[in-house]
Amino acid sequence: MKNLPCRLYTYYIVILLHLLTATLRADNRPGHISGHISAIPQLHQSHISNLQQDGNGFIWFATWNGLIRYDGHTTHSFKPIQCSEGTIDSNRIYNIKISTTGDIWCVSSDNRLFLFSPDSFTFTNLSSAIPQFDGRKVKTLTPLKNGYTWVTMRDGTCARLNDTVPLSDIQCYISPDCLVNGASSVTAISLAENGDEWVLTDSGALNYTSGRIYPGRYRYVESLYKTTYLIAYDGLVMRPADSRRYPTPLPAESTVSYVRTDAHRIVMASDRGIASVDTRDSATLRYTSSPSTYLFKDSRHRLWGFGPQPGVTIIPDPATPRSSLITPATGSDKTPVKNPQLIFETASGDILLRPTGGVLSFYDETSGTLDDVTFSTTPSGCYDRDAIKKYIADRTDNLWILHSEGSDIINFDRRTFTHTTNRSLTETRALATDSHGRLWTSDRSGLLSCGVFSHRLPSPAYTISESPDGQIWVGTKGDGVYVLAPTSDQAVSYNVTHLSRHTLSENRRIHSDSIYAIAFDNDLIWLGSYGSGLARGKAAEGGWQFDKVAGQPDGMKIRRILPDGKGHLLIATADGLVTTDAPVSERPSFFVNKFRNEPWGLKGNDIMGLAECYGRYYACVFGSGLSRIDSDSLLTADIRFTTFDLPATAEAGQISTAVSTGNEIWIAAGSILTRFSPADGHMHTVSCDSPSDHITFSEATPALSDNGDIVLGTTDGVITFTPTLPSPTASSLPPVVTGIQYQNDKRVIPLNNPASLVITPDRRSFTLLLSAMDYDGVRTARLRYRMEGLDVGWTYLHGPQPTATYNNIPPGEYVLNIQRENPDGSPSDTGSRVSVSVTPTFTETIWFRLTIVFMLVALLLGLTAAIIYFKRMRNALQRKYSLLMTVNSVSERLYRKTAAEKPAVPTPREDNTLFIEASLGFLNDNIDNVDLMVEDFARHLGMSRTAYYNRMKEAAGVSPVDFIRQMRIKRALKLLEGGKHTIAEVAYMTGFADPKYFSRCFKAEMSMTPTQYIAAFKAKK
């Protein structure tokens, strides 16, 4: 097919692009909000009755099997029957509220009151501990911000408890009549802005702080600029400070169901519509006559009214009587949500709600309509649960919903990025926008697309570029280049020419069929091959004339070609940055810049992309980041660079490509985009992942659309975004320590963000479980920690369960510093510091060291005393020895004098030989005597045993015992060699009473047994 004439490709000219859209579109357009429903597996079988988020960010669930705590990674269950001092009949918890101290008020299924401590993880049975509560059932709990909690009972009893010491600081009222004369029930308890506590009853309102009572049936307490107002059921407003009454803005016989304030106005929702009264001049406004049961005020001071009619009423400015009813995009026949209605505002200002008769929606600020929050995991594509019982929006804008069928966690994703998958769901390898604003793409399957048009090439395209005359050049991997020439100015159809290394035509022959880069510079065409280097082409009659540029480095693997417009080319290759003057020189020079250790050197060889910004050139280096060219001349192998490393939150080892918008550069790596500002060198990262959509960028050269949007290739399509994205903000919740697991212990001991930890000597190896308190389902938060006093640097964490592990930590006082990283890699202002005290063993204390010093001193003193004692003993012995020597000398002189008078007779004492002979003679005569002893030898020679011992050591070098044994063994050898006696007979004949003992002595002396000796002697003989 490669050798067919160009006319055989005329099927391409039927491309009618004017009938097609020029840009890729997707349902999840920018500005749209999608949702992802995630679940906590550990809660699957739990019947959840309520949930709350505490000050640390933990989510607490009241279930029929105790309290369950969730930190975004793991759950911990606390069952009253296991965590209480007394016996609790059931683990079922019906309701929970968080107190100002962080403790949790719990109401059991039988309406008894308990207090759970998240620090000690124990329950206190207040229904038993407080006598006034015994036998009474809890109706409502009202924690106030001033540190007190009001408890009302079903029989009318109410009590005010101090959150800090609820068992000792308690005021109990057996009947509402004790508070307000004639009252039979407490209807509400509220804390005013000025700090006053109010108790509303069916007979009047009590200012509990001042003790003053205001007769009437009041339903709400509201504050405006620290002035308190009481609102009655019929809409009457009264100011307690001066007892001023305001006219009701509602029709007669109206019943107020909800109240909000704005500026100086009190706005009421009732069964006769929504109205307000101005507290300055008593002026009233009616917004709508439609019944309303709930009001919500957003940060723009707009009011949202919910009623029985489908939709939601929006009041854009409470100072004017304008309102409008906005109907949902998708209707629903599910049971309406009870107050409070499901509506909340995210940190970015998005309004999410479930309107009456609709599904979960968001308010489109541009169109002023309600649009569905889309879900890819639900059959209908929207969220339409029935019988929603409870919901909370946590501090990271996740929605937690309890409904009749269980519970859901909804993570929201505002689609600032548009991810569009291609038909083949394969990697996009080439991108380009043409002069008509149309986006061209090609994926790994070879599918070339423009809008809804597509055609499959024999090989995948790796580069697409438009020439100055409007031709579309498509470089492929293995099939050369396709040139699409428009047949008209509107470029609605094209003639196609195929350029290949194998073609017979000189005007269509190129140097390689794998073209990864195409660039145009004046009238020159530059083709870059991955492995075959650079080729230069010019238009010629009937086609083009290409030739491989001489003098270039062998085997260049080219990814990008960027002309600088001054006669130079910058070439990104897998082996470094190459620069050349080929556009203006017949004999061009090539210069290769590779990795260098110098601070100004290039910090990598694999160049993934090139970008120009503010007249400066940047190389996108795999594994590093951006390297800016600082040298004035490009024609040198010693170009000076300034390197800008990617933040730690971006994966430099996954860099795919980079693109310049003219005033900033965007680097794609993995699923992270990094925006680089050349003006100040600042970088910050943005994750393109969402809970329902995982993005991974490809190496395709990015494209810029006419409206300034950036299009990047992904592993399954393209992603489009506006480069003027706001910088993402980090969560305000600090990371916390949620648990500890000691070495060789399978249990994880829960912790409640402790301020300090004490580690005992037997538990110095441990793992701390950490949490960033993110519940978005993506785990984009990156933590780092350092044990101050032990660790030199920071340890970075990113994954499903961040942990900090220490092994055999030395004793001492440390501080564990845990920080969350901002998107730009800088540490967040929100962090946690935990004091860690590692207690020493006795051997590691100062007392042990003092004990060792004391013992050494005592030992030294003892040695000194011993030395002195032995020195004295030696001196005494020397004196005695000198005396004995003197006596001996005198005796010797007397002996010699007497001996001189007698004939000389040699004795054994005068000669060693005679001494040995005398001993041997006596032994030979008594060798079979088993009772022969050393004393017998000494007596025979007329010596003492000691003198004989010393003389034997002097004469023979052995002790008398060894001498006797050796002589017996020598006699035994001769007897054994004779062969006339048995071993036992030889033993008895040589003075051994036991043949076994004889054998042991024989082996010790001869290194063999008697039997072995006989055998060896016979063999030798």
Phi and psi, residue 566, nearest 5° = -120, 20
How far apart are alpha carbons 202 and 77 in whole angstroms?
41
| Mean pLDDT in residue range 661-665 | 88
Q: Domain 6-16+418-721 classified CATH 2.130.10.10?
A: yes
| Mean pLDDT in residue range 223-236 | 94
How far apart are alpha carbons 404 and 335 in whole angstroms?
11
More confident residue, 867 or 650: 867
More confident residue, 437 or 894: 437
| Mean pLDDT in residue range 880-904 | 52
The per-residue b/e assignment along 623-660, b for 16 or more CB within 10 angstroms, e otherwise, is bbbbbbbeeeebbeeebbbebbbbbbbbbbebbbbbbb
> Is omega for the bond preceding 340 within 30 degrees of 0, making it cis?
yes
| Mean pLDDT in residue range 470-488 | 92
Instruction: Extract the tokens encoding 721.
Output: 């975004």
- In three-state secondary structure terms, 450 is strand
What CATH code is assigned to 736-844?
A: 2.60.40.10
- If you ran DSSP here, which 8-state letter would residue 848 be given? H
Q: Where are the alpha helices (DSSP H) in 802-902?
A: 846-899
How far apart are alpha carbons 203 and 226 in whole angstroms?
25
| E strand residue ranges, 523-635 | 524-529, 533-540, 543-548, 558-563, 569-573, 576-580, 590-593, 607-613, 616-621, 625-629
pLDDT in tens, 29-43: 445 677 777 777 767
Measuring CA to CA, how many Å separate 25 from each of 101, 697, 950? 52, 18, 116
| Mean pLDDT in residue range 988-1002 | 87
Q: Is 896 a residue whose pLDDT tops 70? A: no
pLDDT in tens, 667-692: 998 888 888 988 888 887 777 765 55
| Mean pLDDT in residue range 938-946 | 87
pLDDT in tens, 498-554: 999 988 788 889 999 999 999 999 889 999 999 999 999 998 887 889 999 999 999
Note whether 30 and 416 are within 8 A (CB): yes
* pLDDT at residue 19 in the model: 31
Q: Is 1 a residue whose pLDDT tops 70? A: no
Give the pLDDT band of residue 66 (cuts 50, 70, 90).
Answer: confident
| Mean pLDDT in residue range 90-118 | 91
Report the percentage of the chain scoring pLDDT > 90. Answer: 49
* pLDDT at residue 887 in the model: 44
Q: Domain 911-1020 classified CATH 2.60.120.260?
A: no
* pLDDT at residue 554 in the model: 94
Give the pLDDT band of residue 13 (cuts 50, 70, 90).
Answer: very low
* pLDDT at residue 603 in the model: 92
Residue 62 corresponds to which amino acid? A
Please name every residue paired with 213 in a beta bridge, in sequence order, or none if there are none: 206
The per-residue b/e assignment along 307-317, b for 16 or more CB within 10 angstroms, e otherwise, is bebebbbbbee
pLDDT in tens, 573-623: 999 999 999 999 989 999 999 999 999 999 999 999 999 998 899 999 999
pLDDT in tens, 395-413: 888 899 888 777 888 888 7
pTM attached to this predicted model: 0.66
pLDDT in tens, 753-812: 999 999 999 999 999 999 988 887 655 567 889 999 999 988 888 777 899 999 999 999
Q: What's the sign of the alpha-carbon dihedral 891, 897, 902, 904? A: positive
Q: DSSP string covering 219-281, please?
A: EEEEEETTEEEEEETTS-EEETTTTEEE--SSPTT--EEEEEEETTEEEEEETTEEEEEETTT
Counting beta carbons within 10 angstroms of the beta carbon of residue 349, is it exposed (0 to 12), middle (13 to 18) or buried (19 or more)? exposed
- If you ran DSSP here, which 8-state letter would residue 735 be given? P
Q: Is 837 a residue whose pLDDT tops 60? A: yes
pLDDT in tens, 286-311: 999 999 999 999 999 999 999 999 99
Note whether 231 and 223 are within 8 A (CB): no
Residue 317 corresponds to which amino acid? D
* pLDDT at residue 146 in the model: 94
Nearest one of 537, 554, 555 to 546, comparing CA atoms: 537
Residue 729 corresponds to which amino acid? T
Note whether 918 and 929 are within 8 A (CB): no
Note whether 325 and 289 are within 8 A (CB): no
Element (H, E) at 921: helix 912-925
Please name every residue paired with 573 in a beta bridge, in sequence order, or none if there are none: 558, 576
Give the pLDDT band of residue 916 (cuts 50, 70, 90).
Answer: confident
Count of alpha carbons within 13 Å of 102, Cβ hemisphere only?
Answer: 12
Give the pLDDT band of residue 750 (cuts 50, 70, 90).
Answer: very high
Residue 424, phi-psi category: left (phi > 0), alpha (psi -120 to 50), beta (remainder): alpha
* pLDDT at residue 270 in the model: 95
List, as own/partner pairs, every contact residues 384-393 make where C-beta atoms lie below 8 angstroms and the sequence separation is at least 24, other chains included: 384/330, 384/332, 384/334, 384/359, 384/360, 385/334, 386/334, 386/335, 387/334, 387/335, 388/335, 388/337, 388/342, 388/354, 389/338, 390/50, 390/51, 391/337, 391/342, 392/51, 392/52, 392/53, 393/344
How far apart are alpha carbons 501 and 508 in whole angstroms?
8
Measuring CA to CA, how many Å separate 868 from each of 537, 577, 617, 863? 106, 85, 88, 9
How far apart are alpha carbons 157 and 138 in whole angstroms?
9
* List of residues 6+ apart from 523 with CB closer than 8 A: 538, 539
Report the percentage of the chain scoring pLDDT > 70. Answer: 89
pLDDT in tens, 145-165: 999 999 999 999 999 999 999
Edge-to-edge order in the sheet of strand 66-70:
48-53, 59-63, 66-70, 75-78
The residue ranges of every structural domain in the chain are 6-16+418-721, 736-844, 856-905, 911-1020
Q: What's the sign of the alpha-carbon dihedral 984, 987, 988, 994? A: negative
* pLDDT at residue 82 in the model: 66
* pLDDT at residue 726 in the model: 47
Q: Is 943 a residue whose pLDDT tops 80? A: yes
- The overall average pLDDT reported for the chain is 85
The domains spanning 736-844 and 911-1020 adopt the same CATH topology: no
Instruction: Extract the tokens encoding 538.
Output: 């010019």
* pLDDT at residue 825 in the model: 59
* List of residues 6+ apart from 985 with CB closer than 8 A: none
